[in-house]
Structure 1
């Protein structure tokens, strides 16, 4: 096999058998060796040795400088891309955190606010949004007495049946009934709201990123659209809503209702109360869960201390004792 004139150098840049095997491959040799080692390993070397020839003469300082420049250029490009992505214009605002009274580890709901929030829902939100997972019996001992909850349920006529002759009939609501739906079906809801079906609010606080903060700023964040933003028919601009265009008109404004307890019905107060009520509908076990957690901590803390004491007691002999092995002598 004749590899004369080949562009592939042998391993380590040196030949093995011919007289010119002691020459480095950087010299222009006209003949390549035919040894087995060179023939087997020749394919591991690139055919273009120009870059290798140039870099071979670089000093250590040049190589370090080239490496540093390459890493710096790569890092700078990555930083530029990250900054460019972070400063791109976005019409969606992120809601800031608010100090809700029930967010502490041992804080309970403001039950007076829940009662006011139900009044806001009943008189404002219930025209479009449902609470299909909430029965009237949940109101008892939370923000209503049993008699008040029964009276509240009796105001609604519920379709029931069939009766003895097989016909459906309407009856006053009971504690076991769920809050009524504003529309008989989703098609009717979409027709009445420009094609958009109003979502159910039972779990809305848990279903949206940001929870109470998002809903509060959404209710209070309506404003005129910025220059260049076009809205469709029946749409409104809200920077806290994804995309900015929302089909729901501003639902709250000052003195839209009159509170039973005389609390000033400002827009922010209305939003705070109705969101507190929706937080309760999403987490009706909230207060009981925290009570149970406090009871569990009262038991677990002394139990943990007792376990630690017994562990030290049992292991004290093993950790402080000295064991010596004396083999039996024969």
Structure 2
């Protein structure tokens, strides 16, 4: 008991010291704390308890990924055949795989030397770089992250992606930031983005102008529209079974509600003759 009491006393003393220091000498605010912005709402159809994917939008997002993002980012957990889940036919999936710019690494069976081959539907999306060293060498020593699960790996991921690459993401660094935090000036080679964790990101603006992508369905490709669409696509890659999960959850809630009503009815029937 004495040992336990002593241990508790030391913990209480340490806690009191931490709290009193935080009150009397609070840590100074950082530039990230003051100027970091919370993501804007992308208003995707997949959001919410009953959200469902808009396949046309997800397909447009795939087109943005293919023509813009795939030059630097991988999608290693997604196979070409998975595209059938967002409305592409089997023939279209095979055509997309076969026409993909980056081919699969292979070995020449005759010589045993390294070679490449066309992608097939069962292949996963290949990386644009041979390895991490090559990726860093091509991106000023920054490693482009794989985007398969980016919408799950970041807080409020879908809105984060939309805000980060959208028209309000990349902007000139505010003069007030440099004035208040002189040491927080954006270093050369980085880009100011208030939605990024430390405000300065190595990735150049990916969506620079309206019409950068020509949508096959005729939708006007504004920067805002493209950022929403690629956000929808990366939400799907991160959680392709979202609709099934929502359906299962709704069915479970309905089942529990019915079960509770039946249990209440059984209780009333069993105890109806018992006087309180």
Q: TM-score range by the shorter chain?
A: 0.7 to 0.9
Structure 1 residue 90 corresponds to structure 2 residue 29: no
- 1:249 Cα shift? 0.9
Aligned to 2:135: 189
Rounded Cα–Cα distance in structure 2 between residues aligned with 1:301 and 1:88 = 46
Aligned to 1:282: 238
Contact 2:32 2:198 in 1 (8 A): no
Contact 2:42 2:228 in 1 (8 A): no
Aligned to 2:221: 265
Aligned to 2:188: 233
Decide whether aligned partners of structure 1 residues 96 and 194 sit closer, same or farther in structure 2, where only a CA change above 3 A counts: same
The CA RMSD over aligned residues, in Å, is: 2.8
Alignment of structure 1 residues 89-238 onto 2, 5 Å: 90-156=34-100, 157-161=103-107, 163=109, 166-220=112-166, 221-227=169-175, 228=178, 230-238=185-193
Aligned match of 1:293 in 245, 249, 271? 249
Rounded Cα–Cα distance in structure 1 between residues aligned with 2:111 and 2:171 = 56
The DSSP-based 3-state class of the residue aligned with 1:289 is helix
Aligned to 1:33: none
Give the gaps of 5 or more residues in structure 2: 1-21, 179-183
Decide whether aligned partners of structure 1 residues 244 and 267 sit closer, same or farther in structure 2, where only a CA change above 3 A counts: same
Contact 1:114 1:143 in 2 (8 A): no
Say how many residue pairs are matched.
Answer: 245
Rounded Cα–Cα distance in structure 2 between residues aligned with 1:186 and 1:236 = 22
Contact 2:39 2:163 in 1 (8 A): yes
Rounded Cα–Cα distance in structure 2 between residues aligned with 1:198 and 1:304 = 51
Larger relative contact order (C-alpha < 8 A, sep ≥ 6)? 2
Comparing 185-194 with 304-313, which one deviates more in the overlay?
304-313
CA radius of gyration, larger in: 1
- 1:177 Cα shift? 0.4
Give the gaps of 5 or more residues in structure 1: 1-76, 322-330
The DSSP-based 3-state class of the residue aligned with 1:170 is strand
- 1:131 Cα shift? 0.5
TM-score of the two chains, using structure 1 as the length reference: 0.67
Contact 1:91 1:243 in 2 (8 A): no
TM-score of the two chains, using structure 2 as the length reference: 0.79
